[in-house]
Structure 1
Amino acid sequence: MGGKTAKHQTDSSGNRMVMIMDNYFSPSTGLFYSAKLFGARRIMVPDPAWQCPLIEKTTQRPLVEGEDPATIAAYYGDALVGWEALDDVLVITHKEPGDSVTPPLVEIDNPECRLPADAVPVPEQRYRELQAAQSQGLQIGQDEHGNPVAMTQPEPSLAAIKASLSAAITAERDRREAIGFPYHGRVLDSNPLSVQRITAAALGAQAAVATGQVFTVDWTCADNSVLTLDAPAVIGMPLALAQHAAALHAHARTLKAAVDAATYKTALAAIDIQSGWPEL
C-alpha cells in the first residue's frame, strides 16, 4: 500500500497544495492508527485518462527519385500530417510527443486502505499532545464530533467493582481447590491428575475390601513425604477431598453474598477475600 492521506489548501497564488495526514483516531475502537501501517485513505496516482499531447514537427531528408508516397504514409501512420517535395528535398510534417511526457497526478480512493471507516484524521501536533496526556494517566475519549480528547479516567461503578471482586473470589477459590487438601495430618495434592489418582486408588481399595484382600498404598504427599494408607484410609481420601472443596465453596458463597449486599464502595473495600478460607 502506498501514499499518505492528502488534504488540500491553496497558496497565495491559488495553486493547490497537498497536506499530509498520517495519524487517525477511531471512535469505535478508541485507538490511534497510522496511515503508514494501515494505508492512506486517498492516494495520488498518474491520471489513467491522460494522453500525451502531440506537436507537429517538420523533418527534411533527400528526395529519392521515384519514391512511392505510400511508403511515407506507412512509415508515419496516423502521425503523418503531410509531405511535399521541394527540388531534391522531401519535407515531411508529422506529429510526435511533446516535451512533457509525465502524466499529471490525480487523487483516488486507496483500495488497500485498512483504516476503520469511522477513523478521523489527527494533526501531528494534536497527536503528540494526546500521546503526552495518555502517558500521564489520562484516557483518550471523543467529543461530540468524534474527535479524540484527553479526559480523566472515570471511576469504576459500584456494579463494575462488584463484578471484579466476585471474579477474584472465584479465582481464589479455584486456586485453593487445586493446591491440596488436609488428610491424616498431611497435605495431599488435589490437581486434576492427582484427583484421577485418588479416584482410581479408592476404587482399587473398594475392590480389595469386597474380595477380602489386604490393601495398602504408600501415598506421596504434597511435601514429597510418604503416607502409608490401608484400604479404609484410601477410601476416605475422596470424601476428605470433597469436604475440603465444599468448605471452600461455602466460604466463597459467603464472601460473594457480602459483595452483593454492599451498597457503598467503602463496604466493598472492607471485604478481605484472602482471609477466612479453610486451612490446609
Structure 2
Amino acid sequence: MDYRNPVYNQFGAIDLEIEHPAFGWIPFTASPDDPEELGRAMFAEATGTAKAYSRTVPTLEETRAAKLSALSDQRWKVEIGGILVNGAPVRTDANSQAKITGAVALFKNDPELQAIDWEAQPGIWVTLDAVTMTAIAIAVGRHVQACFSRARALSAEIGAASDFAALEAVDIETGWPR
C-alpha cells in the first residue's frame, strides 16, 4: 500500500497518510503493537523513512496571542450572557442590544408614544414606558462597557507579562461584571 509523510508521534507510533482506493489519501496511525496486521506492516515499512517526533513548543508571543484570543472569547460570552435589571433578566446579545437601542430611539423620536410591548424573555411579555426602556438601555450599555473595561485591563496585563509564568497568572475567567 502506498503511503506518504510518515512522522513519529509522541507515543512512538507513526502518523502517515495511506492511499485508499475509494477515498484517496487518508490519515493513518501505524503501530508496532497494532491489533491489525496492516498497522504492524505499515509501521515496519515506514520505520526507515519516518521523521523524528518534534514537540512544538509555542513561543511567548504565540502563547500571548492565544491568551488574547481566549480573552476576547470570554469578554463576548460575558457581554451576551444577560443581566438583571431590578431583578428582571434582560438579554444582552447583539440582537437584543440593537432592539433596545431602537426602542429608546423610537421613544425619543415619537413623543406621542406612551408604551411599547416587549418580549423580555421568550414567551414573557411586558409593557414598557420610555423611562423604563431608557433605564434598561443604560443598564445594558453599562454592562457592555464594563465588559470592555475588564477586557482592556486584562489585555494590558497580558501584554505586560514578561514570561510564561506571568502570562499564566493572568486570570481571564474572574472579575467580570454580572
TM-score (normalizing by structure 2): 0.69
Name the structure 2 match of 1:239. Answer: 138
Amino acid at match of 2:120: C
Name the structure 2 match of 1:267. Answer: 166
Supply the distance in 1 between the matched residues of 2:52 and 2:45 (Cα, whole angstroms). Answer: 11
Supply the distance in 1 between the matched residues of 2:132 and 2:174 (Cα, whole angstroms). Answer: 30
Conserved in 1, the CA contact under 8 Å of 2:6 and 2:51? no
Name the structure 2 match of 1:166. Answer: 68
> What is the Cα-based RMSD across aligned positions, in Å?
3.3
Q: CA deviation at 1:173?
A: 0.7
Amino acid at match of 1:32: L
| Number of equivalent positions | 155
1:139-150 equivalences in 2 (<5 Å): 147-150=49-52
Conserved in 2, the CA contact under 8 Å of 1:217 and 1:230? yes
Supply the distance in 2 between the matched residues of 1:260 and 1:208 (Cα, whole angstroms). Answer: 47
Conserved in 2, the CA contact under 8 Å of 1:23 and 1:35? yes
Q: CA deviation at 1:178?
A: 1.6
Conserved in 2, the CA contact under 8 Å of 1:180 and 1:222? no
Unaligned runs of 5+ in 2: 8-14, 26-40
1:1-280 equivalences in 2 (<5 Å): 22-25=2-5, 32-37=16-21, 124=42, 125-127=44-46, 147-209=49-111, 213=112, 215-222=114-121, 228-279=127-178
SS at the partner of 2:55?
coil
Amino acid at match of 2:78: R
Supply the distance in 2 between the matched residues of 1:190 and 1:160 (Cα, whole angstroms). Answer: 32
Note closer, same or farther for the CA distance 1:222–1:277 as it changes in structure 2 (3 Å cut). farther
SS at the partner of 2:177?
coil
Name the structure 2 match of 1:142. Answer: none
Note closer, same or farther for the CA distance 1:223–1:179 as it changes in structure 2 (3 Å cut). farther
Note closer, same or farther for the CA distance 1:226–1:155 as it changes in structure 2 (3 Å cut). same
Q: Which runs of 4+ in 1 moved over 6 A?
A: none
Conserved in 2, the CA contact under 8 Å of 1:187 and 1:223? no
Q: CA deviation at 1:193?
A: 2.8
Q: Deviations over 1:255-278 (max 9, x none)?
A: 111111111111122111110101
Conserved in 2, the CA contact under 8 Å of 1:215 and 1:231? yes
Q: Deviations over 1:23-77 (max 9, x none)?
A: 11189xxx73324449xxxxxxxxxxxxxxxxxxxxxxxxxxxxxxxxxxxxxxx
Conserved in 1, the CA contact under 8 Å of 2:117 and 2:125? yes
SS at the partner of 1:179?
coil
Indicate the structure (1 or 2) with the bigger Cα radius of gyration.
Answer: 1
Note closer, same or farther for the CA distance 1:169–1:224 as it changes in structure 2 (3 Å cut). farther
- Structure number with the higher strand fraction is 1
Amino acid at match of 2:142: Q
Name the structure 2 match of 1:46. Answer: none
SS at the partner of 1:148?
coil
Q: CA deviation at 1:207?
A: 3.3
Note closer, same or farther for the CA distance 1:36–1:229 as it changes in structure 2 (3 Å cut). closer
Conserved in 2, the CA contact under 8 Å of 1:259 and 1:271? yes
Q: Deviations over 1:85-116 (max 9, x none)?
A: xxxxxxxxxxxxxxxxxxxxxxxxxxxx99xx
Note closer, same or farther for the CA distance 1:185–1:227 as it changes in structure 2 (3 Å cut). farther
